[in-house]
Amino acid sequence: MSSETNAQHQHDADHGSEEQAHGSFRGYMTGFVLSVFLTAIPFWLVMNNVLDNNQLTGFVIMGFAVVQIIVHMVYFLHMNGRAEGGWSLLALVFTLILVVIALAGSLWVMYHLNTNMMPVHDMKQMP
Amino acid sequence: MASTITASQTGEAPVFYLKDEHPHPEGHSTPLGFWIYLMSDCLIFAVLFAIYGVLGTNYAAGPGPKDLFDLNLVALNTAMLLFSSITYGFAMLTMVQGRVAATQGWLAVTALFGLAFLGIELYEFHHLISIGATPQRSAFLSSFFVLVGTHWLHVTFGTIWLFTLMVQVARHGLITANRRRLMCLSMFWHFLDVIWIGVFTFVYLLGMLR
């Protein structure tokens, strides 16, 4: 058992990468406290209508979501450039590119489709 | 080309591949493989988010987010999932120290928070359907139920997996294979929390702003 673990550590050392990071108590607590604030503030902004401007509130809470996703990736999923020799981060970056294309592309195309294909029904001019 | 011919003429077998210089321990590539599975799962959710983004305002003269969503319930739900994330983190920390009982305890707490999340979601779905806001009502509700329901199913299977691993740890202890499995479930569980950030921001909070 112990010899097997030693062999694995030796093996990982050969590859120049560490055993999968399990994080530390400090890291998990940092991530948790940050997440609590990053969750509570958007809920507070929306529930109490603090900013009094829906569009501005929308952009602000989307900003909070992006920051919180990064916090989760770093402190809970232990994402960094060294994990698995950089392949995890590469897969993540590739996926994010596909996600941005799928989301932004769909919304962009369908928004213009809606605008251009909508029949003009001005009910005021109906007889 | 010429060298290959001369080599075969002299009787030496040509080498077409490089021999692996060292043996790899069992399961050493599992974390990367599982991560790539999670990334493919991320694409499924990206498509569902895109569908919701396109159809989310088509109410068909039916109820909209402001009529249906209760942000207090969503906040409670979010807290449950966030607490389960940190308790799973504690389970991983005790696992590294090899403390079986503490690991089992934290896993049980995580399962309770997961079950609380699932219960609150079921209550919300039941409430929506009972007041007539069914998936058939409008494109908004169809895409809402597909997106949030898919996340609910993921958490359900994650909870089943969690109970399975608790039985495994109880029977075999924190052996290498069980550590690897707990590591994979850890990634799965935290990944679902990341998806939930997108859900409560795009579906619930932005829905209430419309």
- ipTM for this model: 0.85
- Chain B residue numbers with beta carbons less than 8 Å from the beta carbon of A106 are 50-51, 53-54
Nearest to A42 among B28, B183, B201 (CB): B201
Which of A29, A57, A76 to probe by mutation at the B interface, max B CB count within 10 Å? A76
Residue A65 three-state SS: helix
Contact (CB<8Å) A95/B89: no
Distance from the Cα of B131 to chain A's closest Cα (Å) equals 23
Tokens of B17: 């591949």
Question: What CA–CA distance (Å, rounded) separates A14 from B19?
Answer: 17
Domain residue limits, chain B? 63-209
Nearest to A22 among B24, B96, B198 (CB): B96
Choose among A79, A77, A69, A75: nearest CA to A38: A69
- Span B2-15, pLDDT tens digits: 445 554 556 677 77
Q: State how far the alpha carbon of A47 is from the alpha carbons of A37, A40, A99, B70, B201, in Å.
A: 15, 10, 29, 10, 13
Question: What CA–CA distance (Å, rounded) separates B28 from B33?
Answer: 10
Contact (CB<8Å) B85/A103: no
Superfamily of domain B63-209: Cytochrome c oxidase, subunit III, four-helix bundle (1.20.120.80)
Contact (CB<8Å) B205/A77: no
Print pLDDT tens along chain A (127 aa): 444 444 444 444 434 333 456 788 999 999 999 999 999 999 999 999 888 889 999 999 999 999 999 999 999 998 888 877 889 999 999 999 999 999 999 999 988 887 887 666 666 665 5
Contact (CB<8Å) A39/B53: no
Query: What's the Rg (C-alpha) of chain A?
Result: 23
Query: Residue B132 has what DSSP assignment?
Result: T
Distance from the Cα of B121 to chain A's closest Cα (Å) equals 18
Contact (CB<8Å) A62/B31: no
| CB contact at 8 A, A51 and A74 | no
- Among chain A residues, CA nearest to B186: A77
SS3 content of chain A, % helix, strand, coil (to 5): 75, 0, 25
- Among chain B residues, CA nearest to A105: B50
- Chain B residue numbers with beta carbons less than 8 Å from the beta carbon of A87 are 32
| CB contact at 8 A, A20 and A83 | yes
Query: Residue B188 has what DSSP assignment?
Result: H
| Location of structure tokens 């909870």 | B159
Contact (CB<8Å) B197/A68: yes
Provide the residue type at B162 as one letter. L
Query: What's the Rg (C-alpha) of chain B?
Result: 24
pTM to 2 decimal places:
0.84
Distance from the Cα of A127 to chain B's closest Cα (Å) equals 23
Distance from the Cα of A31 to chain B's closest Cα (Å) equals 9
Query: Nearest 5°: phi and psi at B138?
Result: -155, 165
Tokens of B187: 């990634």
The set of residues, in sequence order, having a beta carbon less than 8 Å from that of B172 and lying 6+ positions away, is B178
- Chain A residue numbers with beta carbons less than 8 Å from the beta carbon of B76 are none
Q: How far is CA B194 from the centre of its chain?
A: 8
Domain residue limits, chain A? 21-78, 84-117
Q: In three state form, how does the secondary structure of B45-108 look? A: HHHHHHHHHHHCCCCCCCCCHHHHCCHHHHHHHHHHHHHHHHHHHHHHHHHHCCCHHHHHHHHH
Tokens of A20: 């999968």
Distance from the Cα of A69 to chain B's closest Cα (Å) equals 6
Print pLDDT tens along chain B (210 aa): 444 555 455 667 777 777 666 777 888 889 999 999 999 999 999 999 999 999 998 899 999 999 999 999 999 999 999 999 999 999 999 999 999 999 999 999 999 999 999 999 999 999 999 999 999 999 999 999 999 999 999 999 999 999 999 999 999 999 999 999 999 999 999 999 999 999 999 999 999 998
- Chain A residue numbers with beta carbons less than 8 Å from the beta carbon of B98 are none
Nearest to B78 among A25, A39, A92 (CB): A39
